[in-house]
Amino acid sequence: MNGGATNKTIDAVLDALGDLGQNIEAVYLYGSLSNGTYQPGQSDINLLIVLDEEESFHQARKVLRPVWCNFGPVLKRTPLIATQSTLRRHLSFNPGLSRHLNEYGSLLAGHPCLPEPLTRDPIERLSEMARIAMHGSAAITPSLLSERENAGTISCLRSLSRQLFDHEVSEDEHATALFSQIQADILSKMEQHPSLFWKDQPISGAPPLVKDLRGIYEHENRLVLLLPDSGPEDVARRIKNIDWNAVAGRIISQYRGLWVTTAAQLRMIMLYDSPAAYQLGSYNHAWGLDPLVDLKVDAWRIFRNFGRSPSTLLVDTLPQAYTMSEDSDLAMMVHNLHNKLLNVQLKNEIYCRMQERPIAKPPGHLTDRDLPMEKRIDGIYNHLDWWSGHYANEMATAQT
């Protein structure tokens, strides 16, 4: 795929959206194609469509569905779709995306409508990279993953590598090499913030395959291994020298994935990027040092983290699934989204019970299965919109 194919694909999207006329507020290009790190064959084409508040979500699907069928292999992902109100809220949950859009976003159609970029603590950016790297580290033990999961995790590492080093990543580059380079870069950046580092110390009884291991956690049927917070090059070398295939062989009967990070990075992730996971106790300490034992997380960060999930479902997941799905697959799509929505509600219930707070409940029930498909999708959309608004209000209140 070359620049001609990319331009042709973007033109096809814009031509299709032309059928919506004045109901399109704006179309933005963002991501790797806008900041110069796009790599044909690997990178997505990232587009954001801002609809008029009254525009039919279903009409957008009708005009985009044929484009996806013809240009899906080039696009690799469908556009984000939002109204100005849902976009403003989404960016409040994702300040990194807010700054990226304002710095690199290119207006392709309509008129400028981005809110002012949010101020972002540089440590938040570091924590986001550390979280992406930790999730992507699953690619170093592919035998624990399905083929689809492995493709997603290696793509995650390649994308992060392109962002950090601003160069193309060969498809032959091994996941372990990518992860070691990324870890070295993150740790070198963390050295500019000494307060991030925890009391690292050797511990006896580490598994022989990872002799200098510092700690082990369990998270959603995954094993999380903590390496030493030593120098960047030292950690990179350690990662390369571990026999990850042997490690995977030892745990394959018990776990469906392996994540690797360091104690300081895990603390940073829980404090700045994923405090809701910490608050819900989803990381269970299994062995060794426990860098999460004394964390004190900010309430507004917890609400921002909670809000990110329904907002992402609303602006990203639902439009993508709706555009990609054949009509015959819409019932299954609704079923899957309904389960994700139930998970949003379940996490709220657990958190509220832990904090002795009133349990939040959206007004009304999801629409009945006997109703037309568009009505059922509207019901999911409205509930996701309500949850996003709820957490935006909770975050704002906690910040005052």
DSSP 363-394: SS-PPPTTS-HHHHHHHHHHHHHHHHHHHHHH
Domains of the chain: total: 3
Give Cβ neighbours of residue 359 (< 8 Å, ≥ 6 apart): 348, 349, 352, 353
Summarize the chain as % helix, strand, coil (round to 5).
60, 10, 30
Domain shared by 280 and 359, yes or no = no
> Which of 288, 315, 348 represents a domain boundary (last residue)?
288
- Whether residue 117 is contained in a domain is answered as no
Q: What's at 178, amino acid-wise?
A: L
Longest dimension (CA), the chain: 67
DSSP 3-state of 340 = helix
Distance CA 284, CA 341 (A): 24
- Whether residue 294 is contained in a domain is answered as no
pLDDT at residue 184, rounded to an integer? 95
Domain shared by 313 and 201, yes or no = no
Q: What's at 127, amino acid-wise?
A: S
Q: What's at 179, amino acid-wise?
A: F
Domain shared by 220 and 323, yes or no = no
pLDDT at residue 1, rounded to an integer? 40
- Whether residue 146 is contained in a domain is answered as yes
Domain shared by 153 and 267, yes or no = yes
Q: What's at 296, amino acid-wise?
A: K
Domain shared by 70 and 97, yes or no = yes
Give Cβ neighbours of residue 368 (< 8 Å, ≥ 6 apart): 376
Neighbours of 166 (CB within 10 A): 10
Nearest CA-CA partner of 270 in 247, 237, 293: 293
Task: Give the domain range for residue 41.
Answer: 3-110
> Which of 288, 315, 350 represents a domain boundary (last residue)?
288
DSSP 3-state of 376 = helix
The pTM assigned to this predicted structure is 0.93
Domain shared by 303 and 275, yes or no = no
What are the CA-CA distances from residue 70 to residues 5, 6, 11, 12, 119 (Å)? 12, 13, 13, 9, 39
pLDDT at residue 3, rounded to an integer? 66
Low-confidence ranges of the chain (pLDDT < 70): 1-3
Rg (CA), the chain: 22
Joined together, the tokens standing for residue 335 give: 């079923």
What is the torsional sign of CA 110, 111, 113, 119?
positive
CB 298 within 8 A of CB 223: no
Domain shared by 66 and 140, yes or no = no
- Whether residue 116 is contained in a domain is answered as no
Count CA within 13 A, CB hemisphere, residue 263: 25
Domain shared by 184 and 266, yes or no = yes
Distance CA 29, CA 107 (A): 7
> Edge-to-edge strands of the sheet including 284-288?
258-262, 222-227, 215-219, 284-288
Q: Which residues of 65-88 are buried (b: 16+ CB within 10 A; e: fewer)?
A: bebbeebeebbbbbbbbbbbebbe
CB 30 within 8 A of CB 105: yes
CATH number at residue 80: 3.30.460.10
Neighbours of 175 (CB within 10 A): 21
